[in-house]
Structure 1
Amino acid sequence: MPRKKKPLLSIYWDCQNIKITSELADKLVNFVKTRGSVSHQRAYSNWKQENGDRAKYIERLGFERIDVPDTSKNSVDYQLIVDATQEAFGDKSADIFIIVSGDGDFSGLLSILKAQGKKTVVFAREGGSSKVLLDLADEVQPIERSPDTAKLPVFRDVSLLIRALTHRSYVNEHANAGEDNERLEFLGDSVLNFLSSRFLFNRYPEINEAQLTRLRSALVDEVQLADFANYLEIGKQIRLGKGAIKDKGYNNESLLSDTFEAIVGGYFLDSGLDAVWEFIEPLFIAAAESFDDMQTDISAPILVDSKNRFQQWTLEHFSCHPEYIIVDQSGPDHHKEFTAEVQVQGKVYGMGRGRTKKEAEKRAAENGLKKVGVL
């Protein structure tokens, strides 16, 4: 009786979606050995931007490194799709195609491969890949989540998490890195404002609008959001450019706060408001308990921000409004710091610094209130 022919397998590895590790490379090679014989082992990236030692390691295992120097978005995806499709329609095609990626852009490729009678196996991160892609695959081999992301919510579309962690300084230095996280930050800020408002409204039914506004400001201000980011160990995961790394951006409160907002925005798009609430509620509860520990006087009849309080004081004593002047700004674009003065009739009452003009003015007002004995 003739011996059954071993199936041929080809690996197509999107190294920009699933990063190179020696463990994963070994796992892929061993997987092929247990299922049949190798046809192609192809790894796609802009190889000038990859770790040289890891690149040499996978080359020693027989991987062909396909260099995609094109800096346009999704250029790696396009090249991988073209090569896999050409093989599928060729005379010496593999029987099983292994796609190493969680990117939904490969859903169309899987449909083409299946139409050609090919079996498809997807290696993708646990909980961090396109649901459409995984549903199309004949077999899914999970890649364990990185310990660095264990505290973050599980994204179905990992590309949203990657974008949320991508600072514009990284995009400036890596033209094919895709979109930075600023639009997601904008969205996340709105989601956090809504969820924090609802949380405080339900937690403190006895306090008025001004008091709720003050508490919300404390719950989602830069310092508090940076604390959330530190707890979640976001800093070491942010994709930064060399300049931002040199400026210790991983520890910068402003950058941490912005990235946390971007993650919230990305998770909202990925899984919806209810999922975001499940993720964020424990953080809000812990922060609110710390407010209580500090004996925040939420029952005070007047609980408004420092600028309004200082304005009330100047109207009472001088019958005029205070004037805020930005007297200095410094630092790179990703870490601006503004210095503001608050003046009344030409006299300086306080000075403050912050990452935004509004924050600097608020701190100037707080210092002004301290100077006149209100705080």
Structure 2
Amino acid sequence: MTDNHRTTAKQKSQSQRVAMSWDTQNVYLNQDQAEFLLAFAKSQGRLEPPKIYYNSQHKNQVNDKNRLEKLGCIGVDVRDSAKNSLDKQLVFDCSKRFAIKPSPDLIILVLGDRDFAGLITFLKALRITVIVFARRKSASKKLINLVGEDNFHDVDELSSLCAGLKP
């Protein structure tokens, strides 16, 4: 007797809900890298519009936000100039998003500092899969250890990671 309710990996991927939050102050991606990142995120399941966190008081961040909004991202302006204010807003928004049901099954975080260790621990306690993209040379070792080597990716290797995916 066959189990008609069994799902394949592809079916699971298609039904899995995916969220993405991106700290543009810590991780800049050129156009090709951004397109590969979004292709990767879409390959993981149904991607909610990715949120990109920026400070409009910095012209370069506004330029990045404008470029990324053309790719379907939603900009979240954190105009507070206090230390780590953007990080705190991202953590607050993610915590709020994942505290309600239904919540995504997977989150992709584009960041690099250890300010997010508490968020990652919280998400993992909720049994949410966490994938982090950052620059390995500047990423916190604690951050890498929290998500594990399999769920940590260097943004400089996006093109090879996404070989075969259509950006």
Q: Which amino acid aligns with 1:134?
A: I
Q: 2-side partners of 1:8 and 1:50: how far apart?
A: 33
Q: 2-side partners of 1:126 and 1:77: how far apart?
A: 19
Could you tell me which residue of structure 1 aligns to residue 90 of structure 2?
A: 80
Is the partner of 2:154 in helix, strand or coil? strand
Could you tell me which residue of structure 1 aligns to residue 139 of structure 2?
A: 129
The answer as to 2:51 corresponding to 1:39 is no
Could you tell me which residue of structure 2 aligns to residue 304 of structure 1?
A: none
Q: 2-side partners of 1:55 and 1:40: how far apart?
A: 14
Contact kept, 8 Å, 1:123 with 1:142, in 2: the verdict is yes
CA shift, 1:20, in A, is: 4.2
Between 1:127-136 and 1:31-40, the stretch displaced more is 31-40
Q: Which amino acid aligns with 1:38?
A: L
CA shift, 1:87, in A, is: 1.2
Q: Which amino acid aligns with 1:37?
A: R
> What is the TM-score when the length of structure 1 is the normalising length?
0.37
Q: 2-side partners of 1:142 and 1:20: how far apart?
A: 11
Q: 1-side partners of 2:64 and 2:82: how far apart?
A: 24
Q: 2-side partners of 1:124 and 1:80: how far apart?
A: 16
Could you tell me which residue of structure 1 aligns to residue 31 of structure 2?
A: 22
CA distances 1:325-346 after superposition (whole Å, capped 9, x unpaired): xxxxxxxxxxxxxxxxxxxxxx
Contact kept, 8 Å, 1:125 with 1:142, in 2: the verdict is yes
Could you tell me which residue of structure 1 aligns to residue 58 of structure 2?
A: 49
Could you tell me which residue of structure 2 aligns to residue 107 of structure 1?
A: 117
Q: 1-side partners of 2:144 and 2:56: how far apart?
A: 27
Q: 2-side partners of 1:67 and 1:113: how far apart?
A: 23
CA shift, 1:45, in A, is: 1.1
Contact kept, 8 Å, 1:104 with 1:133, in 2: the verdict is yes
CA distances 1:140-167 after superposition (whole Å, capped 9, x unpaired): 111229xxxxxxxxxxxxxxxxxxxxxx
Q: 2-side partners of 1:79 and 1:57: how far apart?
A: 21
Q: 2-side partners of 1:64 and 1:48: how far apart?
A: 17
The match for 1:116 among 122, 126, 129 is 126
> What is the TM-score when the length of structure 2 is the normalising length?
0.80
Contact kept, 8 Å, 1:21 with 1:54, in 2: the verdict is no
Higher helix share: 1
Contact kept, 8 Å, 1:41 with 1:64, in 2: the verdict is yes
Q: 2-side partners of 1:24 and 1:84: how far apart?
A: 23
Could you tell me which residue of structure 2 aligns to residue 61 of structure 1?
A: 71
Superposed, 1:1-375 pairs within 5 Å as 1-2=4-5, 4-5=11-12, 6-51=15-60, 52-138=62-148, 139-144=151-156
How much is the aligned-residue C-alpha RMSD, in angstroms? 1.8
CA shift, 1:105, in A, is: 0.5
CA shift, 1:132, in A, is: 0.4
CA distances 1:250-304 after superposition (whole Å, capped 9, x unpaired): xxxxxxxxxxxxxxxxxxxxxxxxxxxxxxxxxxxxxxxxxxxxxxxxxxxxxxx
Q: Which amino acid aligns with 2:108?
A: I
In structure 1, list runs of 5 or more residues that go unmatched: 146-375
Q: Percent identity?
A: 32
Is the radius of gyration larger for structure 1 or structure 2?
1
Contact kept, 8 Å, 2:134 with 2:153, in 1: the verdict is yes
Q: CA distance change for structure 1 residues 121 and 16 in 2, over 3 Å: closer, same or farther?
A: same
Q: CA distance change for structure 1 residues 53 and 79 in 2, over 3 Å: closer, same or farther?
A: closer
CA distances 1:62-119 after superposition (whole Å, capped 9, x unpaired): 1110000011100000000001111111113111111111111101110000000100
In structure 2, list runs of 5 or more residues that go unmatched: 158-167
Q: Which amino acid aligns with 1:108?
A: G
CA shift, 1:126, in A, is: 2.3
Q: CA distance change for structure 1 residues 10 and 112 in 2, over 3 Å: closer, same or farther?
A: same
Is the partner of 2:48 in helix, strand or coil? strand
Equivalent pairs counted in the alignment come to 145
Q: 2-side partners of 1:91 and 1:61: how far apart?
A: 27
Could you tell me which residue of structure 1 aligns to residue 161 of structure 2?
A: none
Q: 2-side partners of 1:62 and 1:69: how far apart?
A: 22
Instruction: Tell me which of the two structures has the higher relative contact order, counting C-alpha pairs closer than 8 angstroms and 6 or more residues apart.
Output: 2
Contact kept, 8 Å, 2:109 with 2:133, in 1: the verdict is yes
Q: Which amino acid aligns with 1:65?
A: G
